[in-house]
């Protein structure tokens, strides 16, 4: 691992990984992306392919079935997948950084041995249950409760917008719940809920604007009973622990967003060279070339932002502000580039089967999920002492 990550000087193992995932994205993911998007189907075969490549185990040690890589390796894979299919990329991102990572970071030995091998191999998925109907940006507003009764947590409440929570291979949800109260302060803890527990229901999937091949459900918990030992991490630290997971997750979402932004550049360059109007390729007009040049600049600048945040994280230095900056600028780069690419494609850009149209619909959520743009600004402001 280098202390500094630069786009032009990546060590060979990182470059090889990016190359392998790029190849997989182009040859396996891209050909079926439009079909899964149109049919709103979860891409089980693609996910099995990613599992076979070890992508779900990238940042985990080999003792838990992982690849012994690091978080930056995960980011590189997400960037490559995000270029061609954001639904596939978010399935990996949520599976690793939101699903398995809380178990790895905060689980005890027994919990790690029980869950990580199946999650890191991609045989099973875990979901991250934080958001509720009344608690999104203000996640401390959690209303789901867990009370101890005869050595078991009894959970009641609901979660909403939870990724990977209802697939055929989803086996676990880590859910935040109020486990006590001191004065007006809620004690929030995290509890492991196997999805076959009676009383747990993944309600019918949402009909979304984009990320159509990604799995998203509301969840309900009605007298769900799990052993007391299913507490993940310290009692009362659930909210704080999930915030740590979200800090890291923002770097991963930034990488995915950079992929989307770059995918829009790549598609636009190809199209601008090929499509003719007024007797010449449209890219020969400076208005189009400048638009694409600006798109490239946005993607590149956003990439350096996530490289920087990842380098700080891997060096064990504070990275909260940089992760928020990376998430902010890269999600905006993705949305801006998707809008510009759609314009460059003209009427074809408005046709759902085109990759740029998919990016146009998919990119909006990048400015909302894992902390909205406003939440990133709030966090950056806080880090500046405001
Ligand atoms: C497809 C999808 C997948 C998701 N996956 C998951 C998942 O796997 N797990 C999970 O737990 N959650 C998940 N989420 C939830 C997501 O993280 C939340 O939607 C997001 O954090 C915003 O919360 P909210 O929707 O409640 O909006 P709100 O918090 O109600 O915000 C509404 C608007 O008000 C703004 N706002 C709020 N407070 C302030 C303030 N103080 N100052 C200025 N502006 C403010 C927000 O920025 C936003 O624009 C997912 C959401 C979607 C759509």
| Cα(306) to centroid(ligand 1), Å | 21
CATH topology of domain 126-237: Butyryl-CoA Dehydrogenase, subunit A; domain 2 (2.40.110)
Supply the pLDDT for residue 278.
98
How far is CA 163 from each of CA 23, 64, 174, 307, 355, rounded to the nearest angstrom?
26, 23, 12, 25, 22
Mean predicted confidence (pLDDT) in 214-221: 98
Q: How far is residue 45 CA from its own chain's centroid?
A: 19
How many residues are recorded in the chain? 386
What is the phi/psi pair of residue 164, to 5°?
65, 20
pLDDT for residue 6 is more than 90: no
Q: How far is CA 350 from the centre of its chain?
A: 26
Q: Which residues of 372-382 are buried (b: 16+ CB within 10 A; e: fewer)?
A: bbebbeebbee
5 pLDDT tier (thresholds 50, 70, 90): confident
Q: pLDDT above 90 covers what percent of the chain?
A: 96
51 lines ligand 1 (CB under 6 A): no
In the structure encoding, which two tokens stand for residue 203, read together? 């309600």
Residue 383 has pLDDT above 60, yes or no: yes
Is 240-383 in the same CATH topology as 126-237?
Answer: no
- For residue 8, what pLDDT is reported? 84
Statement: residue 291 has pLDDT above 60: yes
Does residue 184 surpass a pLDDT of 90? Answer: no
* pLDDT confidence band for 13 (50 / 70 / 90): very high
Per-residue pLDDT, averaged over 110-115, amounts to: 98
Q: Does 1 have pLDDT greater than 60? A: no
DSSP summary character for residue 1: -
What is the C-alpha radius of gyration for the chain, rounded to an integer number of angstroms?
A: 21
Task: Determine the residue of 86, 100, 102, 131 to mutate for testing ligand 1's pocket, defined as the one with the most ligand atoms within 8 A of the Cβ atom.
Answer: 131
Domain boundaries, the chain: 2-125, 126-237, 240-383
| Mean pLDDT, range 131-146, rounded to an integer | 95
Residues identified as active-site: 370
Q: Name the CA dihedral angle for 327, 169, 217, 215, rounded to a multiple of 10 degrees.
A: 50
pLDDT digits (tens, 9 = 90+) for 17-62: 999 999 999 999 999 999 999 999 999 999 999 999 999 999 999 9
Contact 125, 171 (CB under 8 A): yes
Compute, in angstroms, the gap from residue 95 CA to the centroid of ligand 1.
19
**Overall average pLDDT of the 351-364 stretch:** 97
Confidence check: pLDDT of 210 > 60: yes
What local confidence, expressed as pLDDT, does residue 171 receive? 98
How far are the Cα atoms of 58, 233, 327, 330, 331 from residue 305, in angstroms, in the given order?
Answer: 21, 31, 9, 8, 12
Position 369 scores a pLDDT of 96
pLDDT at 3: 61
Taking the CA of residue 131 as reference, the ligand 1 atom at the shortest distance is 11
Which ligand 1 atom sits closest to the C-alpha of 365? Answer: 53
Contact indicator for 241, 249 with CB cutoff of 8 Å: no
Q: In terms of Cα–Cα distance, which of 236, 242, 230, 238 is closest to 114? A: 230
How large is the average pLDDT for residues 140-166?
Answer: 97
CA nearest ligand 1 atom 12, residue? 131
Helices (H), 186-319: 238-274, 286-314
128 Cβ closer than 6 Å to some ligand 1 atom = yes
The partner residues of 156 in beta bridges, in order of sequence, read 145
Q: How far apart are the CA of 324 and the centre of ligand 1, in A?
A: 15
Domain 2-125 part of CATH 1.20.120.1810: no
Buried b (16+ CB within 10 A) or exposed e, 35-49: ebbeebebbeebbeb
Q: Please tell me the predicted confidence (pLDDT) of residue 2.
A: 52
Q: Tell me, which fold does domain 240-383 have in CATH?
A: Butyryl-CoA Dehydrogenase, subunit A; domain 3 (1.20.140)
- Rounded to the nearest whole angstrom, what is the distance from the C-alpha of residue 338 to the centroid of ligand 1? 21
- Separation CA 193–CA 195 (nearest Å): 6
* pLDDT at residue 7, as a whole number: 85
Q: Is the CB of 365 under 6 A from ligand 1?
A: yes
Going along the chain, which residue ranges are E strands? 125-129, 145-149, 152-163, 170-182, 185-194, 200-202, 216-227, 231-232, 276-277, 280-281
């Amino acid at each position: 691992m280098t202390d500094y990550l630069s786009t032009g000087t990546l060590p060979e193992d990182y470059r090889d990984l990016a190359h392998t995932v790029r190849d997989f994205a182009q040859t396996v993911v891209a050909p079926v992306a439009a079909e899964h998007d149109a049919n709103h189907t979860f891409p089980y075969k693609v996910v099995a392919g990613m599992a076979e490549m070890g992508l779900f185990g990238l940042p985990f040690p080999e003792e838990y079935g992982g690849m012994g890589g690091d978080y930056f390796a995960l980011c590189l894979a997400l960037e490559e997948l995000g270029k061609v299919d954001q639904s596939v990329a978010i399935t990996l991102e949520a599976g690793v950084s939101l699903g398995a990572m809380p178990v790895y970071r905060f689980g005890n030995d027994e919990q790690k041995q029980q869950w990580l091998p199946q999650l890191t191999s991609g045989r099973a998925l875990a979901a991250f249950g934080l958001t509720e109907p009344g608690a999104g940006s203000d996640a401390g507003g959690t209303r789901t409760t867990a009370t101890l009764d005869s050595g078991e947590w009894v959970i009641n409440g609901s979660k909403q917008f939870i990724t990977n929570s209802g697939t055929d291979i989803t086996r676990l949800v880590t859910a935040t719940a109020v486990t006590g109260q001191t004065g007006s302060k809620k004690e929030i803890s995290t509890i492991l809920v196997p999805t076959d527990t009676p009383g747990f229901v993944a309600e019918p999937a949402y009909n979304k604007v984009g990320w159509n091949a990604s799995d998203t459900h509301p969840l309900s918990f009605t007298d769900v009973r799990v052993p007391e030992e299913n507490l993940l991490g310290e009692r009362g630290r659930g909210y704080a622990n999930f915030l740590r997971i979200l800090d890291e997750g923002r770097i991963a979402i930034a990488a995915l967003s950079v992929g989307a932004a770059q995918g829009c550049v790549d598609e636009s360059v190809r199209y601008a060279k090929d499509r003719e109007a007024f007797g010449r390729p449209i890219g020969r007009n400076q208005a189009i070339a400048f638009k694409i040049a600006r798109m490239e600049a946005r993607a590149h600048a956003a990439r350096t932002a996530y490289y920087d945040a990842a380098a700080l994280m891997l060096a064990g230095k504070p990275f909260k502000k940089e992760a928020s900056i990376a998430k902010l600028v890269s999600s905006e780069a993705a949305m801006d580039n998707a809008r510009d690419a759609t314009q460059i494609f003209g009427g074809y850009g408005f046709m759902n089967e085109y990759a740029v149209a998919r990016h146009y619909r998919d990119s909006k959520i990048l400015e909302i999920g894992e902390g909205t743009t406003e939440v990133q600004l709030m966090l950056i402001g806080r880090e500046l002492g405001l």
